[in-house]
Chains A and B, each alone.
Chain A
Amino acid sequence: MLDYPTLKIIWWLLVGVLLVGFAIMDGHDMGVGTLLPFVGRNDVERRVVINTVGPHWDGNQVWFITGGGAIFAAWPLVYATAFSGFYWAMLIVLWALFFRPVGFDYRSKIANPAWRSTWDWGLFVGGAVPPLIFGVAFGNLFQGVPFQFDDHLVSTYTGSFWGLLNPFALLCGVVSTAMITFHGAIYLTHRTEGETQRRTLRATLIFGSLLLVTFSLAGFWLWQGIAGYAISSLIDPAALPNPLGKTVLRQNGAWLANYGKYPATIALPVIAYLGTLAAMLLATKGRTLAAFVASSLAIVGVIGTAGVSLFPFVMPSSTDLRSSLTVWDSVSSQLTLNIMLWATLIFMPLIIIYTGWAYKVMAGKVTAAYIRENEHGAY
């Protein structure tokens, strides 16, 4: 069995991998949902757009569910504190996600235009709202969240839902939505043709630019305007997790400290910029598959930047600093982390292989002719 400190770091990385996997896989079909009412101007066009992800959205959504499960298993305190603290935000995400399975599966089963239009907007909500809220949640993590633990580690959240919607958090929400919509637009350029493809290409340029601008703004704000968190007591990475056993202070610029300490991590924001620019360029040149790889890298860069900036914090507390949750003191036992590592190492490669096969089987452009030939089978 690996030693405890190593496992704690590995699990921080693995949660990152799962989040990035979620953003790349579920993200592109959420982006497709967000763009659906705008890039599809008639029923056939909309069905084309929906069917680019028709066979895949369900598998992709499991990234989200597995991500939730993995956080439950590896960081139970984070799962408990974040999900209950962000109660209404989580419920809004959940209720927005309700529109996806039924939207995809039920929309084209009835020919009535009002019915179809309702589900199209449902898919829009299911695509746009979750990334927005996740971005807002990240924005609040940087500012600290008002919660504290009692002696028995019962957490109490003292903020309100509306308090989450502050300017910095909303900016992070825009970063996240722009990133996901951009990625979805690139996927659509890869899988569609003609007029629809031209519209998605325009969306690529709009949301790519928006991502670059808002990502830069958020970075500047983080550097100049937000006091970060730092652990001020001695850290024993091998200790049994106890969030109340440390002291924490707030410092200007603390969120950028890791880039000084580990200069290699500067690569992450650089990848975010280069990936976005490359994806825009490649999409314009018609090299859409390469563009998709580039926008996936941009996602690695953006999420990686957020993660490294926060490290070792996962969920800092603004009202009781020592209650802050970090990668050292909010994790599962060594045994559980070890078992979950094995489970991930065994199953993740298999998942990637059969997901890849599924995309290969369904590869190629989705066309209006395909929709007409599969009137009853297609979404």
Chain B
Amino acid sequence: MISEQLVDLSRLQFAVTALYHFLFVPLTIGMTWILVIMESVYLLTGKTIYKDMTRFWGKLFGINFALGVTTGITMEFQFGTNWAYYSHYVGDIFGAPLAIEGLMAFFLESTFIGLFFFGWDRLSRKQHLLVTLLMAIGTNLSALWILIANGWMQNPVGAEFSYVTMRMEMVDFWAVVFNPDAQAKFVHTVSAGYVTGAMFVLAISSWYLLRGRDVEFAKKSFSIASAFGFASICSVIVLGDESGYTVGEAQQTKLAAMEAMWETEPAPAGFNLIAIPNEKAMKNDFAIEIPWVMGLLGTRSLDKQIPGIKEIKEKNRERIVNGMLAVVALDALRRNPDDAAMKTQLAAHQADLGFGLLLRKYVTDLAQVSPEIIQKAVDDTVPRVAPMFWSFRLMVGFGFLMLALFGTALWSSVKGNFVEQPWLQRWALWMLPIPWLSCELGWFVAEYGRQPWTIYGVLPTHLSVSTLSVSSLYGSLAGFVGFYTVLLIVEMYLMQKFAKQGPGSLGTGRYANETAHA
């Protein structure tokens, strides 16, 4: 039996390293397009200030990018080091988008980022803009393939289990690529990155404006950021709603948990604006409900029902009971692959194999399964409600807050009066951490909401880990936390140093703070 402690520590390590990685990714994704916009304006107008903008914001982008690369390698390693059984069980499908990400996207991004920084004097203006553009395309394609891989974890299409090879195997590559979950996730996630980039430029430009420094530079940056940010936040909200709508069982379970919907209500269901979920009694102790809204958003209809947690659990109970038969047949076939009766039994219940495997958290030998154990496994199939409910609401709330800010910023930018509005600049400055918080909350909802699965309905998290010792996990976790803390301190130090110094750090002689440079 795999120890719970090993599973918990492996999950914790993955969560820590993935959430940390995602502190740097969204800014990279967003900044690449902002750099493309600034440099395009430079090419069109020939005004040097736009080149300086590209170079200065590019410098900050580079400081962030270094840690994005550093922590990204961890992600590539970690499936193998800590999730070995997962890697074996689904590598046939999951490995492909990761490898294609490298071939198609990451090479492109990483090769051209070098020329972006060092090619200014060696490339014509048009060539350099092309380099920046290819870097941005590479970055975004990279996100596409990673989210195809992640989308497959949420909605495992285009694959079948084989008892001979004891793993999932790809049967339809294009189904994996055009997985609706993956596509919805991709647009939602990259748009969130664009918002992050826009907020970064908006907030720091506002800080220069508040100090009355490098005003022309800050004004132009502010305008670009407000327009780009407004378009992006609209896209995040609309497409985020789309990813909630995407049909699929994983999404249904998540939806029920994040809406604290215990019962299946008559369509169209109401939306719990605020609730105090009670996990034990499977009800909300208190709720403020807006009628109809949930049904409309979740099903785009007035008559389709959204299943509540209780109904989902009852369905899952059936699947666990069926799945037991599949697991028993699989065990027999692994000992004797020619057992015809067992082949038939596995074929009949294969769709529920993953649900049967949930029981392996509690017993190795399925003959020992008792009703209590089945009940435990059934309860496991829905993630805890309160963390889902509140993280989701916080994320959405932040989204609307940013919509308000970018809307106001764009309005004043069109009217051309934001320089005289310190309250707006201060508001933008204080909002700086919000996109990062929203991104992290979003990932929490997506990944915690998929529990107890690594691959929804196929492979339980509990079985996915490497058979390592608990002490190894403590050691590696301590190592990651140590390294990442030091790296974050160093990165934040440099970031604030160069952000404070401003475009003067380019050493062009055109800006404030020229002498402060290194």
Contacts and interface: CB of A to CB of B under 8 A. Distances in A.
Contact of B505 (A94, A102, A376): A376
B82 A84 contact: yes
Interface string A60-104: 011011101110111011011111100110110011011011101
B91 A66 contact: no
Contact of A101 (B67, B92, B166, B517): B67
B103 to A, nearest CB: 4
A335 B159 CA distance: 11
A311 B92 CA distance: 22
Contact of A69 (B67, B70, B99): B99
A72 B517 CA distance: 45
B95 A87 contact: no
A80 B100 contact: no
Name the prevailing secondary structure of the B interface residues: helix
Given A61-B110, A98-B487, A106 B66 contact: yes
B192 to A, nearest CB: 23
B363 interface: no
Nearest to B123: A361
A261 interface: no
B69 A84 contact: no
Contact of B103 (A152, A241, A332, A343): A343
A105 B103 contact: no
A247 interface: no
A65 B119 contact: no
Interface in B62-107: 62-63, 65-67, 69-70, 72-74, 76-77, 79-82, 84-88, 91-96, 98-104, 106-107
A266 interface: no
Contacts, number: 249
B169 A76 contact: no
A202 interface: no
B113 interface: yes
A110 interface: yes
Interface in A338-378: 339-340, 343-344, 347-348, 351, 354-355, 358, 361-362, 375-378
Contacts of A65: 72-73, 76, 102, 106
Contact of A333 (B65, B77, B170, B472): B170
Contact of B115 (A73, A74, A240, A361): A361
Interface string B507-518: 100000000011
A232 interface: no
A156 interface: yes
Contacts of B100: 69, 340, 343, 347
B114 interface: yes
A195 interface: no
B301 interface: no
A61 B110 CA distance: 8
B95 A106 contact: no
A56 interface: yes
A121 interface: no
A84 B91 contact: no
A348 B103 contact: yes
Given A58-B114, A101-B69, A336-B96, A155 B507 contact: no
Contacts of B497: 110
A219 interface: no
Contacts of B246: none
B95 A343 contact: no
Interface in B194-230: none
B73 A102 contact: no
B164 A240 contact: yes
Contacts of B169: 332-333, 335-336
Contact of A95 (B72, B76, B106, B479): B479
Contacts of B115: 55, 358, 361-362
A362 B131 CA distance: 14
Contacts of B186: none
A336 B173 CA distance: 8
Contact of B483 (A76, A95, A110, A351): A95
Contacts of A108: 518
A336 B108 CA distance: 23
B479 A91 contact: yes
A101 B111 contact: no
Nearest to B101: A69
Contact of A80 (B67, B76, B88, B490): B88
Contacts of A57: 114
A106 B103 contact: no
A55 B81 contact: no
B91 A76 contact: yes
B483 A98 contact: yes
Interface string A106-139: 1011110000000000000000000000000000
A264 interface: no
Contacts of A348: 103
Contacts of B88: 76-77, 80-81, 153, 155
A106 B490 contact: yes
B80 A157 contact: no
Nearest to A79: B80
Nearest to B80: A83
Contacts of A80: 80, 84-88, 91, 466
B135 to A, nearest CB: 11
B81 A91 contact: yes
B107 A109 contact: no
B438 to A, nearest CB: 26
A355 B112 CA distance: 9
B280 interface: no
B506 interface: yes
Contacts of B476: 87, 91
Contact of A343 (B99, B110, B162, B479): B99
Nearest to B91: A76
A3 interface: no
B91 A69 contact: no
A54 interface: yes
Contacts of B93: 336
B40 to A, nearest CB: 21
B80 A84 contact: yes
Given A98-B483, A102-B487, A376-B517, A347 B103 contact: yes
Nearest to A156: B467
Contacts of B162: 240
Given A73-B95, A109-B518, A62 B70 contact: no
B111 A358 contact: yes
Given A73-B96, A105-B63, A79 B91 contact: yes
B156 to A, nearest CB: 15
Contact of A66 (B99, B335, B475, B479): B99
Given A72-B91, A333-B169, A90 B77 contact: yes
A338 B315 CA distance: 38
B334 interface: yes
19 contacts: A55-B114, A59-B113, A62-B107, A72-B98, A74-B95, A80-B466, A84-B468, A101-B65, A151-B334, A155-B88, A157-B467, A344-B103, A347-B100, A354-B112, A358-B112, A361-B115, A362-B115, A362-B118, A376-B507
Interface of B: 62-63, 65-67, 69-70, 72-74, 76-77, 79-82, 84-88, 91-96, 98-104, 106-108, 110-115, 117-120, 122-123, 162, 164-167, 169-171, 173, 331, 334-335, 466-468, 472, 475-476, 479, 483, 487, 490-491, 494, 497-498, 505-507, 517-518
Given A61-B110, A111-B518, 7 more contacts: A69-B99, A79-B79, A82-B80, A90-B81, A105-B65, A339-B96, A377-B120
Interface of A: 54-59, 61-62, 64-66, 68-70, 72-74, 76-77, 79-84, 87-88, 90-91, 94-95, 97-98, 100-102, 104-106, 108-111, 151-157, 240-242, 332-333, 335-336, 339-340, 343-344, 347-348, 351, 354-355, 358, 361-362, 375-378
8 closest residue pairs by CB, A with B? A76-B91, A83-B80, A66-B102, A73-B95, A55-B114, A59-B111, A69-B99, A72-B95
